[in-house]
């Protein structure tokens, strides 16, 4: 897959253990596959973010796992139950991947596409305000 990479995201991923590199790269590829207009950036000094008319997701490698933060205001359906945390969070939720955990590509791609669709229609805050949630 070909997309414009931010070298700072490469710098974030490169020093990680190989299993974390693989998860981060797979998530990176999937978010770009969700929409070719997705852009990469660094926020909060070092954290990779993927954006398109608003935040889609961010990566955070911890000692024994990788968190993928999903910025959807809790609105994007998760029929495959891959979201592992933040269910009551008003801003977003997360998926934690530990060594050996598979990245379920199709369900994650669906979530990314849902977040992007919400962003393109004005964002999750507008969607929540319009729904009375």
- Full residue range of the structural domain in which residue 29 is found: 7-121
Q: How many domains does the chain have?
A: 1
CB 98 within 8 A of CB 22: no
Confidence of residue 133 (pLDDT cuts 50, 70, 90): low
How many CB atoms are located within 10 Å of the residue 57 CB?
27
Distances (CA, A) of 37 to 20, 31, 71, 97: 25, 10, 17, 26
* Cross-strand partners of 66: 61, 97
pLDDT tens profile 14-55: 999 999 999 999 999 999 999 999 999 999 999 999 999 999
Kindly state whether residue 28 falls inside one of the protein's structural domains.
yes
CATH number of 104's domain: 3.90.1150.200
Kindly state whether residue 128 falls inside one of the protein's structural domains.
no
Q: Which residue bears the tokens 């919400």?
A: 118
Kindly state whether residue 1 falls inside one of the protein's structural domains.
no
The rounded distance, in Å, linking the Cα atoms of 116 and 123 is: 9
pLDDT tens profile 72-122: 999 999 999 999 999 888 889 999 999 999 999 999 999 999 999 999 999
Torsion 13-116-89-103 (CA) sign: negative
């Amino acid at each position: 897959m070909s997309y414009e990479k931010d070298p700072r995201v490469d710098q974030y991923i490169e020093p990680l253990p190989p299993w974390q590199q693989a998860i981060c790269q797979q998530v990176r590829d999937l978010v770009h596959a969700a929409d070719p207009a997705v852009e990469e950036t660094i926020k909060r000094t070092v954290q990779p973010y993927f954006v398109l008319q608003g935040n889609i997701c961010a990566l955070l490698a911890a000692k024994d796992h990788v968190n993928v933060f999903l910025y959807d205001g809790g609105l994007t359906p998760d029929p495959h139950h891959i979201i592992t945390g933040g269910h009551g969070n008003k801003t977003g939720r997360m998926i934690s991947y530990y060594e050996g955990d598979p990245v379920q590509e199709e369900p994650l791609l669906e979530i990314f596409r849902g977040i992007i669709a919400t962003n393109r229609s004005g964002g999750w805050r507008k969607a929540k305000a319009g729904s009375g949630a």
